Amino acid sequence: MNQFLDITVQAAINEAQVTLKRAQGIESTYPNVPGKSLWGSCVDYFDGIVFTLNMVLDHTLEQTPLDAQTWLSAGLSYINMCEKGFELINMANTILPTISTNLTELILNSLAISVVIRGGDTPDFVDLNYSNKHKLSNLAVENPDVVVALDGSGNFTSIQEAVDSAGSRRRGKKYVIYVKAGIYQEYVEIQHKVRNLKMFGDGINKTIITGNRHAGGDTLATPKAGDLKESATFKVYGRGFIARDITFQNTAGPDGGQALALLAGSDQSAFYRCSFEGYQDTLLTQDSKQFYKECQIYGTVDFIFGDARAVLQDCEIFLRKPLPGGGLVVTAHGRKYHNQTGGYSFQGCNITAADDLKPVIRQYKKAFLGRPWFAYARTVFIQSFLDDLVDPKGWLDSWGHNKTAYCGEYKNNGKGASTHKRVQWPNYQVITDPKIAEHFTVVHLISGNRWLPTTSVPYISGLEKL
């Protein structure tokens, strides 16, 4: 069966390379109007598909069936993001489906085979002897390979220059970047080939990476209209990325529309004591397995979104003051196909109003925990505090996915945690069985016991008291 999977994945890779060349040809001749930048991003997405699918064939990575399923799911997520860019600017496009349909079908075929190998959408094997908690080793005392400092006291004054220097290391070796306190006004990208990079700063609101690009709002006349990827202040794709004690910002403001502080497409990535600040679409968890611990996330609408398989543990989720008449929605999960692996789990988090919203909170409608972005979205809140700003219905259906999306709540508390008036969707569930809730913990949802100990980020594996 594994050999058959390799054959089908290779066929998908071949088609992805063909699709990539077609997209490159379209982008090179496309006029400089809304759409050209999107084609440029699609070129990057298709290149990412080739890279990610090749990981499935790289058996030196000691991959599990879940890994293969995750990476194939990521390939589909890239196609979805490419398509969504054009939809955001209401631009009818017939060329994209023409060049991407075969690729989508080939990846779906491979994904179906990977599901059979894994044994369906079931929890991973759990070692009952696992340790419940893991301590953090102080990255600050770990000798950094390079130091970034605005005052010139380090190796670089630019974070991107430090990231680019990682290419000179020995293959497979971790690379540690220390970013000293300061406001770094730059756009950073960590590409797929840059793996096992660790980056730590001096703390939230001390080491700040900031930008103000945006893809929404009144921008339809600009070349980058609708290009979510290009609005991101910080983009990371390389596997095994770890960040600690850093603030990621997008200061486009509430009238800027879609404006990303972070685009995270790194498998087995972990963020510890970081802050993500924006309004709409603050944090794009694009794909793969991700973990967030003791982080702060600020936004207004869909500010945690994407197709990742992510656990957010002990995080502070702050809803900010929106535009007049604007709405408030925490999540928009984007799992499009049933066999994909994505899902959100908020464990031990606090959902509250930010300081700018508190004094005027009665002027706005209540907030929703999420609205399913794609048909098979999965989002659960477990052991979390939900303040009274949460709407009694809990969830919102803006795209007609209420019959297939899964939304769950387990042992939450606070005035907004009452489930008596929640939505009556077929797959909305008030979880009472801890065995079901366990499916959405670190050990199951992201197979965290396999890789989180190497990150030195603390975590709780299951439903232990937080």
pLDDT in tens, 269-296: 999 999 999 999 999 999 999 999 999 9
pLDDT at residue 126, as a whole number: 38
Report d(CA 109, CA 247) in Å as an integer.
40
Residue 426 has pLDDT above 60, yes or no: yes
Q: Residue 219 has what pLDDT?
A: 46
Q: Which helix (H) or strand (E) holds 457?
A: none
Q: Residue 21 pLDDT > 50, yes or no?
A: yes
The residues, any chain, with a CB within 8 Å of residue 398's CB and separated by 6 or more, are 371
Beta-strand pair 378-382/234-236 = unpaired
Average pLDDT over residues 103-128: 74
Neighbours of 363 (CB within 10 A): 10
Q: Which pLDDT score is estimated for 65?
A: 86
Position 203 scores a pLDDT of 98
Give the tokens for residue 250. Answer: 């997008």
CA angle 227, 251, 389 (to 5 degrees): 100
In this predicted structure, the answer to whether residue 137 has a pLDDT above a threshold of 70 is: no
Query: Among this protein's residues, is 302 annotated catalytic?
Result: yes
Q: Would you mind telling me the total number of residues written for the chain in this entry? A: 466
Q: What is the pLDDT of residues 221-262, one digit of tens each?
A: 455 767 899 999 999 999 999 999 999 999 999 999 999 999
Q: Are 334 and 80 in contact (CB under 8 A)?
A: yes
Residue 66 contacts residue 118 (beta carbons within 8 Å): yes
Q: Which of 227, 287, 302, 314 is catalytic?
A: 302
Asked if the model's pLDDT at residue 128 lies above 50, the reply is no
Helical (H) or strand (E) element with 249:
strand 247-250
| Mean model confidence pLDDT for the chain | 92
155-177 pLDDT, tens digit per residue, is 999 999 999 999 877 667 899 99
What mean pLDDT comes out for the span 34-63?
92
Is 322 in contact with 367 (CB distance < 8 Å)? no
> What value does the mean pLDDT take over residues 401-425?
98
Q: At residue 317, what are phi and psi to the nearest 5 degrees? A: -105, 110
Domains of the chain plus CATH, in order, are 2-118 (1.20.140.40), 139-455 (2.160.20.10)
Q: What 3-state DSSP class applies to 60?
A: helix
Bigger pLDDT: 129 vs 363? 363
Name which of 276, 431, 268, 425 is nearest 347 in CA terms: 431
pLDDT of residue 223: 58
pLDDT of 357 higher than 70: yes
Q: Which residue has the higher pLDDT, 29 or 223?
A: 29
Please check whether residue 189 is in contact with residue 44, taking contact to mean a CB–CB distance below 8 angstroms: no
Residue 127: predicted pLDDT: 39
Give pLDDT, residue 1.
61
Residues ≥6 apart with Cβ < 8 Å to 31: none
State which amino acid sits at residue 169: R
What distances in angstroms separate CA 159 from CA 47, 178, 179, 182, one per listed residue? 24, 9, 7, 11
The closest of 112, 114, 109 to 55, measured between CA atoms, is 114
The answer, yes or no, to whether residue 364 has pLDDT greater than 90, is yes
Q: CA geometry: angle at 433 spanning 431 and 438, to 5°?
A: 90
Rounded-to-integer distance, Cα 222 and Cα 257, Å? 14
Phi and psi based region of residue 281 (left: phi greater than 0; alpha: psi -120 to 50; beta: remaining): left
Q: What percent of the chain has pLDDT above 70?
A: 92
The yes-or-no verdict on residue 131 having pLDDT over 50 is: no
Q: Of the given ranges (166-180, 229-243, 319-333, 392-406), which has the lowest mean pLDDT?
A: 166-180
